[in-house]
Structure 1
Amino acid sequence: MDLEVLWTVTLLILVAFIPTIAFMAWFRATGKRIREPWSVVILSYLFGAIGAIIIALVLEMVAMGLLSSPVVREYDIFALDPTAFTFVMVIVVAPIVEEAAKALGVSKSMTRALGTPRSGLVLGAAAGLGFAATENLLYEGGALMEGGVSAFIAIAVVRTFSSALMHASATSVSGYGIAKSSLGGGSWLPYYLLAVLMHASFNLFASFGELFKGTLGETAALIGLIFAFILVIASVSWTRRRISALS
């Protein structure tokens, strides 16, 4: 492998994974007393980074195949094909599939062993951040190859502080439901559906630029970005407050 290529790949991996690992430690450190074992937190993170990504890709490929469409993932699909079909894929299919895949990183046996609903929030955030790290690696690598360094930096900054934290907070909600269910607190399904709604709302806001470019011009993308960040800030704030309250 060429030395320049090796350095580039290393840089991409570091930029994608280091921020999400830092966020994972930040969520785990929330509160005063309880701390989940690092081994369990890292296991959830790795499942999100590898297992959940594979599951989501396979299921999304199946969905695309059934609907006779080429596989194009996430909200930038609108830039290529701004149709009702792509809207459904981005706003409905992707959130349902990805939140289900990530939630598998928070097993009932894990949360039952740890014995607190807090563990579901932390492990859910870890699984979501692992998923986000691999997803960011793919997006940021594509941005570097297609748009150069400036595009890479822009995508890396925006995705690190928006979609990565969205994945963390959405899956923490699913994890919270799974933990409560494992401890006799009812069904996890409403929490999963709330996570899907959060994810779908984020994708909708992130798609504003393409959806409303005809009527709002370039302002549409800025409006969408602002709403996306508001959603992320509110979601992360709720997650950390809940983790702290359960500590």
Structure 2
Amino acid sequence: MFLVLSLLSVVCASVPMLTFLLIIWYMDRHEREPLWLFFLTFLWGACGAVSFALIGNETFSAILSVIVGPELADTMAATIIAPLVEEPMKALVLFAVMFSRHFDNATDGFVYGAAAGLGFGMTENFFYFLNVAASGDVFGWMMTVVIRTFFSAVMHACATSCVGAMLGFARFRGWGWKIAALPLGFGFAMSIHALWNGMLTVGDLTANMGFMLANLGLFIVEFVVLVAVFQLALWEERGTIRRELADEVQQRLVPLAHAKAVGSWLVRGKQHWVPKGVPHGQYVKALTTLALRKHQARNSSSGGYAFYSEEVVRLRREVAGLLALAK
């Protein structure tokens, strides 16, 4: 039975997280991230973040055990140490991705953060599933799979997405936002993590299922709020696209109908508004990237301004070349 449950643990830990990962990638409607970088972020969460977090958790738990005793240390480890150690470890990769040309705004930060969190959740889930499988308790294993797949692992994704979203939001804004982004992002992330672990710990200590049910309900509310924030980030991105392309319309570089279509998620994926002979996907991507690069050039430092300005010139040529293919 252990062998069967072990094999099922591999499947149940990986398949749902990979499915969630692709759903999040698809939800980034306007400018989807390169899959290789997206999966690399996921792998950091699954391997690098887990490894460093394990070392950090064990080290600080051992120190705390000497100070307050083993029993209290175990309780504090889940509620205090885990959020303080695991959230920075998951977010480390975001600081590398943030300085790439693919990290544009809050939407990008959100999806990269979620990817790192899902990777962490996948590996953590596997070890939890394996631990319960060793006991031979099939029902307990099934309950662990359900709870950890749809709540604990998603909690990791939600928490790290807060950090990513704040970094993305602040990247092309003033120094005030840049300074505030880290404490705000990590504050939200650690609070979500600590609240989830804390209520689970209290529920276990008191053997009160009410804490478990309240925790599940509270997390659903947090999840809905985060989805709403993600939608607001997409709405802001759409507004940027429409605003920046309005200049191109005034200069008669882009037809008004095309600027409106690219700014609409419902219309941009359809073929009817693109002239015959113009490659639909390439044209939509060129217009979207042009709008975002204009926004970035306007809000960049001197070094970044030169790069983004050159990109704007290049993309204008590309758009003009694509429109010249119209039959």
What residue identity is the alignment partner of 2:74? Answer: T
Q: Please list, as runs of the form range in 1=range in 2, the aligned pairs for 1:53-202 lying within 5 A after superposition.
A: 53-68=50-65, 81=71, 83=72, 85-110=73-98, 112-117=100-105, 118-184=107-173, 185-187=177-179, 188-189=181-182, 190-202=184-196
Shift of 1:224: 3.2
Alignment of 1:231 onto 2:222: yes
Contact 2:199–2:211 (8 Å) recurs in 1: no
Structure 1 counterpart SS, 2:137? helix
- Cα distance in 2, alignment partners of residues 194 and 104 from structure 1: 16
Moved more, 50-59 or 175-184: 175-184
Contact 2:41–2:115 (8 Å) recurs in 1: yes
Q: Deviations over 1:216-236 (max 9, x none)?
A: x4434333333334333433x
| TM-score using structure 2 length | 0.63
- Cα distance in 1, alignment partners of residues 18 and 127 from structure 2: 17
- Cα distance in 2, alignment partners of residues 218 and 198 from structure 1: 20
Moved more, 18-27 or 180-189: 180-189
Alignment of 1:18 onto 2:8: no
- Cα distance in 2, alignment partners of residues 98 and 182 from structure 1: 23
What residue identity is the alignment partner of 1:34? Answer: E
Q: Deviations over 1:83-119 (max 9, x none)?
A: 3x33432222110110000001213444541141221
| CA pair 209-38 structure 1, distance change in 2 beyond 3 A | same
Shift of 1:165: 1.0
- Cα distance in 1, alignment partners of residues 91 and 29 from structure 2: 26
Larger Rg: 2
What residue identity is the alignment partner of 2:199? Answer: F
> Which gives a bigger RCO, structure 1 or 2 (Cα 8 Å, sep 6+)?
1
Alignment of 1:37 onto 2:31: no
| TM-score using structure 1 length | 0.82
Cα RMSD, aligned residues only: 2.5
Aligned pairs, how many? 228
In structure 2, the gaps of 5 or more residues are 239-327
What residue identity is the alignment partner of 2:135? Answer: E
Contact 2:87–2:190 (8 Å) recurs in 1: yes
Any runs of at least 4 consecutive aligned residues in structure 1 with deviations exceeding 6 A, and if so which? none
Shift of 1:31: 4.3
- Cα distance in 2, alignment partners of residues 197 and 42 from structure 1: 26
Structure 1 counterpart SS, 2:30? coil
| CA pair 112-176 structure 1, distance change in 2 beyond 3 A | farther
What residue identity is the alignment partner of 2:160? Answer: T
| CA pair 63-112 structure 1, distance change in 2 beyond 3 A | same
In structure 1, the gaps of 5 or more residues are 70-79
Contact 1:16–1:133 (8 Å) recurs in 2: yes
Give the aligned partner of residue 207 of structure 1: 201
| CA pair 170-219 structure 1, distance change in 2 beyond 3 A | closer
Identity %: 28
Give the aligned partner of residue 293 of structure 2: none
